[in-house]
Structure 1
Amino acid sequence: MIKTSTMFSAHAIHVLLRNTLILLVVLFIALFMWLLVGIKVDTLKVGDYSIGGLYIKLDKKLTLKSDYIMLPQSKAKPSFDNVDRVFDEVKYLFTFFESIDLKNVKFKNNQLDIIFIDNILYVTSNDYEIAGNVQRVGQMLEADVSMLYLKKDDVHIKGKLTYDLRSSSLKTEGDFDGYDIKGRFFANKVGDTIDFKLLSDTFKDLHPIMNKFDLTEVVRSWVLDRVEADRYKLLSLSGKGSLERGKFSLDISGLKGEMLFSDVKIHFKEDLAPVLVPSLLLAYHNEGLYFNLKEPTYEGISLEGSEVSIRNLLNTHTNLKLKIRTDSRFDSKMQDLLKAYNLLLPLDQKSGKVNVLFMADLGLKSSYKDFFVNVDFSKGDVWLGKVQLPVEKGNVQYKKGSIHLKGIYLKDLHYEGMLNGEIDVQKKKADLVLDTKRVILGDEKEIFFVLKDQKIPFVLDYTKNINVEIPNLSLKISNEEGETAIHLNDLNKIKPYLSDTGLIENGGDIEIKTKDFETYAFKGMLKRSSCFLYEKNNKCKTRVPFQGKVTPKGLYFYAFNKRFYYNKANSRVKLSNLNFDLKKFLNVQKKDTKKEDTNKKDKSKQRTSLIILGKNSDLRYGDYSLVTDHYDVEVKPNGDIKAIGSASGDIIKFSKKNDILSIKALRIQDKALHPLINFKGLQHGRYTLKLSGNPDKTMKGEIIVEGGVMKDFKAYNNTLAFINTIPALASLQNPGYSVKGFTIEKGIAEYRMIKQDKIVFDSIYIKGKSATIAGSGEIDLKKKTIDLNLAIQSARELGKFVGSLPLVGYILMGKDKSMTFGLQITGTLDNPKVKTSAGEDILSLPLKILKRALESPEHIINK
């Protein structure tokens, strides 16, 4: 039974399968026959799906039409993840369908119309509209897309593509028109790798297309705002990527692009004028934007060779790199460019050209900043602050807050040398070294300062004002409130370089001030060893406080509270209540003249005479002094002197020609005589002095005495004391020869001064009331000794009085009852010894002197 039941069941299953198969075949044949005739359904609804006006017919291939199709799901956005599936589906169009006309295919988020007939495909949606010829050639799909319109972006695309059904490779190229940009595109897909390239025609506005990209604010600022162009052209934008899990991944490292900007304005900073560029090539590669500038200019200055780039766009180290080059003057325009980046280089070029390289590295996502400036100078005038530098060549670099001066060769009429050093921009301080070849200061007439082959370090401080300090020369220069001050604290430091060191000698200091570098005021103190200025007490003035000014008209020099005045233009010195040693002055001037002649540029030009005017001033020449109320001295260029002075109306003349000195004084008072002969023993009379000769050899002099007394010197005092010890001579004291002095009626002395060492009295004749003195002898000034032989003849009245006295051997009696005795004065000047001479010694006096003593001829006085 079980076997029978089993067989029945198998039979039943067999019958069911046979009948089902027959039914399917009948239905398929019926459907096929139906398709051949054509199926038309007004409405078909299955669940949420509905179709209206459906028509399907089979004629070799299917024909499909519908009036509407309702689909409950959303339409997927076009994506690379289904590109291959789309093309696989498209191939079935050619395999199974003759034509397709689907209207109003509605999704939740979109609506499509699809038409395919005679290999022409037309699809429209809310987002796009596409039309083109699509055909299959073997295993290749070929499409000629005449229109692809992206409605939202208003972009038109047309082109061709081929798709290899076997390898799934795609090639496409075409044109696009959108965002007011027309261009071409190329794309290829091989396996999972896609590469593409875009280029455009010239267009006017970059903003619409760039707004479609998710750019950083920095990149957007530079591409759209800071770089402003009249026209743009995309030369190329190429890259590649890969399909990974249905998504396209762009290889950023391989993305490259070039865009041409025409008639460009680059705004580096808001406060700066723009850089003008006829054309700019913007290139993207290696994660950076590179602005290649063609013929850029800034304020009329060529910036040829300049570069701008933005690096590291895809990480946090995005930075702007500027490389600006110019070959122009480094003037205010270049200064403004650097100031925009808070770079203050205290350089200003008035003439010539420089080659400038300015490099900036600026963090665009951080506060990082780094700058480098390189300036190669050619010949021109450059101002460092307010200091003018006549540059021949050299290099200046700025790096990390410091300015480095390298090989700045300076050459001017007055100086030449190499300047090196460093300037701290933050501290506003410079440490510099000038390796001088020469520094020569002076004018067209003469040179007064010469420095050669010396290294001079100096410090420049411009914190508030300009301050320069040169330690080697003890020199400081400052500028404040429009006034420049020059301080020389030790004139000895510059003495080795002065052609005229006469005034300095032992140094001193000076301060010079000027506001316009035409008029200068100065004051200071000179230290001297040689002294030609002295006070009434003969105190030598080795410290000379001075002041004065220099103007275009000349030098005006004052010293000792304006008691000394010198005008260089007039070659005139005025002295008031200040004494002057002319010989010492001439010795100093003689040395200075030799140096001046060596440094004079125009040696043919004649020197002018120096005029010295004195008031209440003593004029000294060696051992001779003119004590006058005022005097007038002319010192000629060859050293000759012509002088005249007046003392209480008495005239004194003084002259020197070559080596011959001459003094003439007519009937002067004793106060004028004493300093001329260095002897105060003659008083209260009138005196005529004639003196001439070579002071270094022999001077011949003659003194004529009119009245007065002789007293108050040791030889006289000792002689008087000696006379008091001899009764026979005591009568001489009254009235003419006493402590009140020897009263003189008239007299004359002739003498010679030999080398300032010895005074030889060739003859002495003095006629007094009580006696007449005659004699000769000498005084050795070097040994300070005296040796005089005198004959003293008493008056006749005194002779009568002493005639009855017993006579001694040293007294000679005259026929007129006068008596004559001899005295010899010897020993030192401080303590001379007096003794009588024997009668025969008196007779041994020269005949001329003896005749004077015994005969007293009147004509001697009157000659």
Structure 2
Amino acid sequence: MLLRNTLIFLVVLFIAFFMWLMVGIKLDTVKVADYNVEGLYIKLNKKLIVKADHVILPQSKAKPSFTSVHDTFERIKYLLTFFESIVVKNITFNNNTMSIRFKDDFLGLSSKDYEIIGTARREGKMLKATIPLLFLKKHNVTMSGKLTYDLHEKILSTEGFFRLHDALGRFHASKDGNSIDFGLESDSFSDLESIIDMFDLEENVRSWVVDKVKADQYKLRSLTGKGTLKNGTFKMDFDALNGEVLFTDTQIHFKEELPPVLAPSFILTYRNGGLYFDLKDPTYEGISLDGSKVSILNLLNADTHLKLKIKSDHRFEDTMQNLLKAYDIVLPLDQQSGKVKVLFMADLALKNSYQDFFVNVDFSKSDVLLGKTKFPITKGNVQYNKGLITLKNIYLKDTFYEGKLDGKLDVKKKKADFLFDAKRITLGDEKETFFILNNETVPFTLNYENNIQIKIPKLSMKFTNDTNETSIQLNDLNKVKPYLPDPGPIDNGGKVTIKTNDFNTYTFKGILKRESCFLYEKNDQCKTRVPFEGVLKEKELDFYAFDKRFYYNKANARIKLSNLNFDLKKFLTVEAKKEKSEKTKKKEKTTEEKSLIILGENSQLRYGDHSLVTDSYDVEVKPNGDIKAIGSSSGDIIKFSKKNNIFSIQALRIQDKALHPLIDFKGLQHGRYTLKFSGDPEETMKGEIIVEGGVMKDFKAYNNTLAFINTIPALASLQNPGYSDKGFTIEKGVAEYRMIKQEKIIFDSIYIKGTSATIAGTGEIDLEKKTIDLNLAIQSARELGKLVGSLPLVGYILMGEDKSMTFGLQITGTLDDPQVKTSAGGDILSLPLKILKRALESPEHIINK
């Protein structure tokens, strides 16, 4: 009975509740546990109608997750099945408010975070929704689209449009089981910064995407990805995440202190955890950087790196150098002409201090300055890596040199070691080449810590260049000498330092070491150590030596000597070799050569065995080797000349100090002498010496003759007053001689008239054997009657018409110790007739030549 009554009560209650629902139930307040509803109205037509003014929901401890997606769509399924309309004006939960409107498949949701307006309906097993508005208020994102959900297979797919700030785009997504795929794309927009700020990026990464890269327009070409649901959490598959953004009218600021790189557009691609900048037609200060790329790698870990790859096909000048200098990379090269292919690669850590750089420069034909030194390059490669600059296969070709250069340069130490494989090195001008090196390797070092300094050990050369002066030091001229076609004054080495401030005027100073020379002091000491200095200009050379006692001016072709002696023959020999060398190199002379003028003061002028001891002299050496010279010694004039092979000297009434060096004989003293001497030194030269006064003494033949006379009583009277140790007093005399090939002197005639006797004779001196052979006739000026009584014998004496006597002497043997003996009368008669006549005739009737 109780069970029946209970069932009847429940049926009646259900019927009553159902009838109330049919009529509609309205409650002001309903409170169940933590749920609170105000202004509730429920009615049942075919489906339920629910209205409420305010609903308070308890705070949920569960976190939103993708596991509730299916539950949500299950609730929507039942919502569509059992409810006709739902209107909840205000729902309060978790510090948020929300309103719900649902009627005739229309669904509207609104909260402080989002707003959704759309329709939802069920078609069989498919739940379909059209969402004209989904507005995420916090991020200013507006979306619209369609959604389908397979209630049986539980497969979700959606697509539609979105607006994010000023970006309009399209999206699609799908969920199948635990796998989710999605994709996005957009039209052009301009506000990238607001979108990027929605993501939590490292500041260095953000600055490269937003601050350092500026564009007028952006376009999301695609963003696709997928992930999986695991334990209620969506896990992104970053390996599958890919995106492309088109940047238009861009500026890329690599460094704050540098101008930006400009590009009409580039594509920013995300893949494999990295961002890749694919630049289209980039330029830097008007220079094309076509092929350049930028990338940011390892965004998902702590080893995030910025990779720069900058390419250029342009002249390597200040613009490109400043770009490298911004990264503390200094390549001390300045390209003056031509183009190079430059590759600059930088690896910069964005989350730590690591950085690494690489530069590759491929040269084609161009002119490059290293400091102030010009290198004409035909091709080659220069690389920078980890502080080292490597020069590889740098082919150089210039008027003066050609070859291949290799080496390494330490940027930190500012030092380098190079090896030049020289095909040729030549120095000179159109008229003359003075340095030639062929097919040799030349190592050299470079130091530019304080200034540019180049050392070439092979040539003992040091080249220094600073802001004010360039200096070249040659410390051992012997190392340079093998490469000089004309070593010139370099005999046995030396050194020189050359300096210039403007490469127009050069000063030089050094020392020459010589084994032979044409400069000597008055004691005949050859100057083998020659200190010199001078100035060289474009068409002018001033050369000084021996504290400026020697001066040579090239423009005027003039040498000045002061208190320094000059060997003209040796000098001309050097010049002749130079002339011969020049003739073999060029068939024609482009300009007329000047005569060389040599001016001397207190200087001896030597030519072979002949010396001009003068107060001053003036010599003209013509281009063909002919010579005209005139000297003055205490008013005495000496003339010297050479024409072709004919050599001649004329000295008019000169004193003995000028005569002695001319004839290399000091036996004639205190007189006046006229010398005439001419001929071919290599064949025969004829000479004549005219003597006026003076004495003859102080030579071996004279001394030995005097000693011999002292042993013969009959001749002893000759000593006083004329023939003695005080010398043979001469009134006048003349000697005629010939020199044969500078080997032998033949005296064709000797005549000397003294106060006590007259000497006449002939003979010869062999210069090679150093022997003498003279036959002399000596005529006494005394009366015969006073002399005959004292003679022990008269076999070697002839009597003259004036009662003078003549005896003969023969001088033979070596020049160092000549032997003297008397000649028989018959031998005297064998002298040539004119010599004999001079001896036998009276002094008053001496005939002239």
TM bin, normalised by shorter chain, reads: over 0.9
Partner of 1:788: 774
Taking the aligned partners of 1:861 and 1:56, their CA distance within structure 2 comes to 179
Partner of 1:493: 479
2:66 corresponds to 1:80: yes
**Residues 108, 78 of structure 1: CA spacing in aligned structure 2 closer, same or farther, 3 A cutoff?**
closer
Q: Give the alignment of 1:403-802 within 5 angstroms.
A: 403-600=389-586, 603-795=589-781, 797-802=782-787
Q: Give the alignment of 1:804-823 within 5 angstroms.
A: 804-806=789-791, 807-823=793-809
2:229 corresponds to 1:243: yes
Partner of 1:43: 29
Taking the aligned partners of 1:624 and 1:315, their CA distance within structure 2 comes to 98
Q: State TM-score, norm by structure 2.
A: 0.97
> How far did 1:31 drift?
2.6
Aligned with 2:87: secondary structure?
strand
Deviations 1:476-522 (A, max 9, x none): 01123511110001111111111221211211110001110110000
2:827 corresponds to 1:836: no
Aligned with 2:204: secondary structure?
helix
> How far did 1:532 drift?
0.8
Give the aligned residue type for 1:39: I
Partner of 1:114: 100
Taking the aligned partners of 1:480 and 1:856, their CA distance within structure 2 comes to 87
**Residues 550, 436 of structure 1: CA spacing in aligned structure 2 closer, same or farther, 3 A cutoff?**
same
Taking the aligned partners of 1:586 and 1:544, their CA distance within structure 2 comes to 19
Taking the aligned partners of 2:845 and 2:341, their CA distance within structure 1 comes to 97
**Residues 859, 242 of structure 1: CA spacing in aligned structure 2 closer, same or farther, 3 A cutoff?**
farther
> How far did 1:153 drift?
2.8
Taking the aligned partners of 2:471 and 2:679, their CA distance within structure 1 comes to 51
Contact 2:802 2:842 in 1 (8 A): no
Contact 1:763 1:774 in 2 (8 A): yes
Partner of 1:8: none
Partner of 2:355: 369
Partner of 1:5: none
Give the aligned residue type for 1:564: F
**Residues 149, 106 of structure 1: CA spacing in aligned structure 2 closer, same or farther, 3 A cutoff?**
same
Deviations 1:157-196 (A, max 9, x none): 1111111111111111111123222221111111111111
How well do the aligned residues superpose, as a CA RMSD in angstroms?
1.7
Contact 2:801 2:841 in 1 (8 A): no
Give the aligned residue type for 1:702: E
Contact 2:117 2:131 in 1 (8 A): yes
Contact 2:629 2:640 in 1 (8 A): yes
Contact 1:200 1:234 in 2 (8 A): yes
1:294 aligned to which of 256, 280, 290:
280
Deviation larger for 65-74 or 762-771: 65-74
Taking the aligned partners of 2:847 and 2:264, their CA distance within structure 1 comes to 111
Partner of 1:319: 305
Partner of 2:327: 341
Contact 1:66 1:103 in 2 (8 A): yes
Partner of 1:174: 160
Contact 1:446 1:602 in 2 (8 A): no
Aligned with 2:438: secondary structure?
strand
2:91 aligned to which of 105, 110, 113:
105
Aligned with 2:569: secondary structure?
helix
> How far did 1:107 drift?
2.5
Aligned with 1:350: secondary structure?
strand
Aligned with 2:660: secondary structure?
helix
2:275 corresponds to 1:270: no
> How far did 1:111 drift?
2.2
Deviations 1:384-412 (A, max 9, x none): 12221111111101112111111111111
Give the aligned residue type for 1:720: L
Aligned with 2:118: secondary structure?
strand
Deviations 1:28-60 (A, max 9, x none): 233333323333333333344333332222222
Taking the aligned partners of 2:785 and 2:104, their CA distance within structure 1 comes to 186
**Residues 467, 109 of structure 1: CA spacing in aligned structure 2 closer, same or farther, 3 A cutoff?**
same
Give the aligned residue type for 1:66: A
Taking the aligned partners of 1:516 and 1:735, their CA distance within structure 2 comes to 76
Give the aligned residue type for 1:811: I
2:239 corresponds to 1:258: no
Contact 2:205 2:350 in 1 (8 A): no
Give the aligned residue type for 1:100: I
Contact 1:747 1:861 in 2 (8 A): no
User: 5+ unaligned residues in a row in structure 1: which ranges?
Assistant: 1-14
Taking the aligned partners of 2:352 and 2:97, their CA distance within structure 1 comes to 49
Give the aligned residue type for 1:256: N
2:122 corresponds to 1:136: yes
2:215 aligned to which of 219, 229, 234:
229
Deviations 1:226-265 (A, max 9, x none): 1122221211111111111222121222211111112211
**Residues 367, 112 of structure 1: CA spacing in aligned structure 2 closer, same or farther, 3 A cutoff?**
closer
Deviations 1:125-156 (A, max 9, x none): 22221111111111111111111122233322
Taking the aligned partners of 2:196 and 2:585, their CA distance within structure 1 comes to 76
Contact 2:22 2:43 in 1 (8 A): yes
Partner of 1:7: none
Give the aligned residue type for 1:292: D
Taking the aligned partners of 2:592 and 2:273, their CA distance within structure 1 comes to 80
1:95 aligned to which of 81, 88, 102:
81
Taking the aligned partners of 1:172 and 1:78, their CA distance within structure 2 comes to 20
Deviations 1:300-330 (A, max 9, x none): 1111111111111111211111100001111
> How far did 1:788 drift?
0.9
User: 5+ unaligned residues in a row in structure 2: which ranges?
Assistant: none
> How far did 1:78 drift?
5.6
Taking only the aligned residue pairs, the percentage that are identical comes to 70
Contact 1:631 1:646 in 2 (8 A): yes
Give the aligned residue type for 1:516: D
Taking the aligned partners of 1:846 and 1:554, their CA distance within structure 2 comes to 61
Taking the aligned partners of 2:27 and 2:356, their CA distance within structure 1 comes to 78
Taking the aligned partners of 1:781 and 1:556, their CA distance within structure 2 comes to 42
Contact 2:800 2:841 in 1 (8 A): no
Partner of 1:4: none
Taking the aligned partners of 1:861 and 1:349, their CA distance within structure 2 comes to 89
2:198 corresponds to 1:212: yes
Taking the aligned partners of 1:487 and 1:50, their CA distance within structure 2 comes to 104
Taking the aligned partners of 1:67 and 1:828, their CA distance within structure 2 comes to 157
Give the aligned residue type for 2:206: R
Partner of 2:336: 350
Taking the aligned partners of 1:820 and 1:330, their CA distance within structure 2 comes to 102
Partner of 2:48: 62
Contact 2:838 2:847 in 1 (8 A): no
**Residues 856, 679 of structure 1: CA spacing in aligned structure 2 closer, same or farther, 3 A cutoff?**
farther
Aligned with 1:88: secondary structure?
helix
Deviation larger for 558-567 or 383-392: 383-392
